[in-house]
Structure 1
């Protein structure tokens, strides 16, 4: 690598001469420290040296998706010059987002202790949340510097297609060219993982020890990848944080959504192919069209649902139905959730939910639980289990158990029942953030700054106090250990044993972290009485 960087510098030395040339005539060690260069399969990229870590941002792993909208991604064309990898690439077009947006969005980012082949470091690939509609790999909370420093690991984040760009299913409307359009975003992730397999060794990583981890929608995407044949063999550990995908959207429901979306754009099903030429801004404006399956407000949804599709092309079975996918049985897995998911998921946009009366709770449960169960029965049972809970506390606890935690239980149970499967480790984050006088407790997204050891990021939900730093040390250390060996046990924490149907062993992360058997078991049994329906199914 120093020779590549040296060739470029020698040309500059000859052109500049004198003092400027002398300034550029650095030793190979100084040159590498200032700007590391790595040769990938497609060309050379130049990163930066920050806080003792080599950082590469905005590396292209796929070609511009605009010319092939709604179709499988393609690898990028090779380049001969050295591309600067110093800033994040554009995010997929989406609403309510301030980063640069473009259909040319297939970029990834790498943090490594040393950008040099032969490092043999575990690779931690993070898939961002935001359901299947929002987000990017460039969020400050996902900066991999501290993980790379703490664990001597290589960290990767990435962008991919979202919402209609990644999941508009046209297979039954626009012909064979669009047979895989409902899973274009999943295929982007597969292409990114192929890039990791083919290139990460040049950055000091081990392509045979690739761990996926992701929160919320990122966890759901990982669960989907575990059942996606094209992803088989591309990763070797998986950790989902408050994100599960038991079932995908069926092709008929996905077609109904596509038809509603096309109608909002002024297109009939017979003209479905024309959507490939509709301006990007117009495509975004139609995303909030009422969902024909759930409807606006139905199951707590707003606008059309976007997610993976059982298209019999990319996805030939549901991710975790009727059982755990056999293709990933040998992959060790972590399945985690936070104790108070919906205090932010729902309460973050509806402050009134923090001051409910008992009379208001049943109607709100009906809207937000996403399972068909008598809300009066739920209130009665929670008041029996937790007589000191306020109406708002019952609402948040029941919606967390019925809506956000239920799928995690299902996936853990199916993995535990799988003959000869690799271990599955369950966790529950109980530690509550002190932010806003502690009103959020342990909400959705709180585990992100803790796992990344990024409590110092401005406005981090965790804050950056002593308790947050202690929790970040524990959780990031466990994830690093899992990336390295497939076992999350590390010095200084209680023994974390795999989840079984007999014990339902769960690591409860708190200032006094402990392994518990079947935490919130009564809540689990209450909701196990009724079938679970994945959002969008």
Structure 2
């Protein structure tokens, strides 16, 4: 590896001194923390800024530079408005010039061959930031790996498809620019991570929510062949009904409709607009982003089609979701939790399959209805798609697949002016959002700071000794998987891999007392399999 002592500016961190690393495009300078032993390189450019004529194009490789590029602070986060209350950025503002990644490494001057974790943030492909404290890589780096977090373009800047964009692209498709940014970051890691002590043949990709959806598409993409050694998905896969890619023609139609509504006559005209105008036009449209497309380049087909043909990356997979991803009110739409109301809603939503759904979700008492509605809302939101990813890979791969259910209920918020949001996160207590009921399980996104070992960096909640115990267990399981492709070690609860045809495969329930149990409710997912794959 190439870690060189730097003689440049004094480090901002009072416990650090400058260090340099040579990438394929030039020398960068970060910090070596003498208290932690971790070196950090923040705001490392991995592609040319996607601005001007490079808007809505696949990312271009960085050009080489002379001298030393300082990489001691996080780069700007991608263009976005504040969508989710739990996102706390440490970035250098907001900009279209956002293609930067961050590195934490424990490598010494002669270290080589370390496993690598590349983590993708969540945020529905409309928001998110690789600098967020809950994704911080220091705690994982202390386990003996190189950690990378990376930005990727979002919303209209990252996923707009349009017939004119398809016509000008060398592959005849459009959209998926944020996904191509993720793939470009993986290429950068392949070409450069040895300079930070990492092994390019031992790269595990991971992410939560939209980041997990990104992991599922990277596994499916032919462009990722040879870049991935393992994958971790936390709550989400790009499979109907969760942010599944649409046919290119449908994506182009949505993009053309947006331009027409905005009074823009061409992509050339849109490209000439200032960032502010595009940002405001997108926000005024009321859209929640744009879908990924089957662009015949990044994605040649739907994920089920790719996985069923065995065309996905044949690597170990660790995947799971949370026990209460979204409250039951999301399904009941304000109706009280009574058996009669639940049955009425199920008949309305599942006119052809209501009998099977009602049998699969016990609902004899108001409390049972609360659990049933929460499970059904969660399954429809994100749990089913994640299960389907799990099921496809175990049946169409010879690689081990490990499944978890994260179940630790989070402690109360410290700030009385905040309350939980609908799908994780927080909202202001005086906002118009509906008040959340007392939690009956672990909500969406709550596991991130646990698995990354970052409770100490997230001060919203009154963490207890039990929370730190759960975090220690979950982080160790994830770290083992990243290091070895297997989460098991003698000091942890045994976690068997799932068999290809096991109707009740083992599930690691991660809680104050973590343990592996047979799956109890997979009949629910098989019902939804018929609903969503007609």
TM over 0.5: yes
Counterpart in 2 of 1:188? 181
The alpha-carbon deviation at position 289 of structure 1 amounts to 6.5
Describe the SS at the equivalent of 1:432. coil
Q: 1:2 to 1:204 in 2, by over 3 A?
A: closer
Q: 1:158 to 1:221 in 2, by over 3 A?
A: same
Describe the SS at the equivalent of 2:205. strand
Equivalent residues in 2 for 1:417-456, closer than 5 Å:
417-418=395-396, 420-436=397-413, 439=439, 441-456=441-456
Indicate whether 1:320 and 2:304 are aligned: yes
Moved more, 226-235 or 302-311: 302-311
1:58 to 43, 49, 55: 43
Contact 1:257 / 1:304 at 8 angstroms: preserved in 2? no
Moved more, 303-312 or 231-240: 303-312
Counterpart in 2 of 1:283? 278
Counterpart in 2 of 1:298? none
Query: What is the total number of aligned residue pairs between the two structures?
Result: 493
Describe the SS at the equivalent of 2:298. coil
Describe the SS at the equivalent of 1:72. coil
- Take 1:53 and 1:424, find their aligned partners in 2: how far apart are those partners? 31
- Take 2:42 and 2:108, find their aligned partners in 1: how far apart are those partners? 13
Q: Which has the larger share of helix?
A: 1
Equivalent residues in 2 for 1:133-532, closer than 5 Å:
133-149=126-142, 151-171=143-163, 175-177=167-169, 179-246=172-239, 247-268=244-265, 271-288=266-283, 303-321=287-305, 323-324=307-308, 326-343=310-327, 372=350, 380-381=358-359, 384=362, 387=365, 389=367, 391-418=369-396, 420-436=397-413, 439=439, 441-460=441-460, 463-500=462-499, 501-502=501-502, 503-532=504-533
Contact 1:2 / 1:32 at 8 angstroms: preserved in 2? no
Q: 1:432 to 1:46 in 2, by over 3 A?
A: same
Moved more, 248-257 or 472-481: 248-257
- Take 1:116 and 1:365, find their aligned partners in 2: how far apart are those partners? 61
The alpha-carbon deviation at position 493 of structure 1 amounts to 2.2
The alpha-carbon deviation at position 532 of structure 1 amounts to 4.9
Q: 1:4 to 1:409 in 2, by over 3 A?
A: closer
Indicate whether 1:46 and 2:24 are aligned: no
TM-score, structure 2 as length reference: 0.83
Moved more, 122-131 or 181-190: 181-190
The alpha-carbon deviation at position 244 of structure 1 amounts to 0.6
Counterpart in 1 of 2:433? none
Describe the SS at the equivalent of 2:305. coil
The alpha-carbon deviation at position 278 of structure 1 amounts to 2.3
Contact 1:336 / 1:426 at 8 angstroms: preserved in 2? yes
**Which entry has the higher C-alpha Rg, 1 or 2?**
1
Contact 2:328 / 2:374 at 8 angstroms: preserved in 1? no
Deviations 1:392-441 (A, max 9, x none): 443222111233211122112211221x5211111111221122596263
Deviations 1:30-75 (A, max 9, x none): x996112111111111112333211111011111100210011111
Q: 1:346 to 1:280 in 2, by over 3 A?
A: farther
- Take 1:344 and 1:56, find their aligned partners in 2: how far apart are those partners? 43
Counterpart in 1 of 2:430? none
The alpha-carbon deviation at position 261 of structure 1 amounts to 1.3
Describe the SS at the equivalent of 2:532. coil
Describe the SS at the equivalent of 1:480. helix
RMSD in angstroms over aligned alpha carbons? 3.3
Q: 1:487 to 1:309 in 2, by over 3 A?
A: same
Structure 1 residues not aligned, in runs of 5+: 13-23, 25-30, 291-301
- Take 1:87 and 1:325, find their aligned partners in 2: how far apart are those partners? 43
Contact 2:3 / 2:195 at 8 angstroms: preserved in 1? no
Deviations 1:450-481 (A, max 9, x none): 110111123356x4311111111111111111
Q: 1:380 to 1:328 in 2, by over 3 A?
A: closer
The alpha-carbon deviation at position 193 of structure 1 amounts to 0.7
- Take 1:365 and 1:512, find their aligned partners in 2: how far apart are those partners? 34
Describe the SS at the equivalent of 2:257. helix
The alpha-carbon deviation at position 77 of structure 1 amounts to 1.8
The alpha-carbon deviation at position 447 of structure 1 amounts to 1.5
Deviations 1:478-516 (A, max 9, x none): 111111111111232222111223242211112222212
The alpha-carbon deviation at position 80 of structure 1 amounts to 1.7
Describe the SS at the equivalent of 1:321. helix
TM-score, structure 1 as length reference: 0.83
Q: 1:467 to 1:282 in 2, by over 3 A?
A: same
Counterpart in 1 of 2:75? 89
Deviations 1:51-105 (A, max 9, x none): 3211111011111100210011111121222122111111111111775111111
- Take 2:105 and 2:187, find their aligned partners in 1: how far apart are those partners? 18
The alpha-carbon deviation at position 529 of structure 1 amounts to 4.5
Contact 2:245 / 2:294 at 8 angstroms: preserved in 1? yes
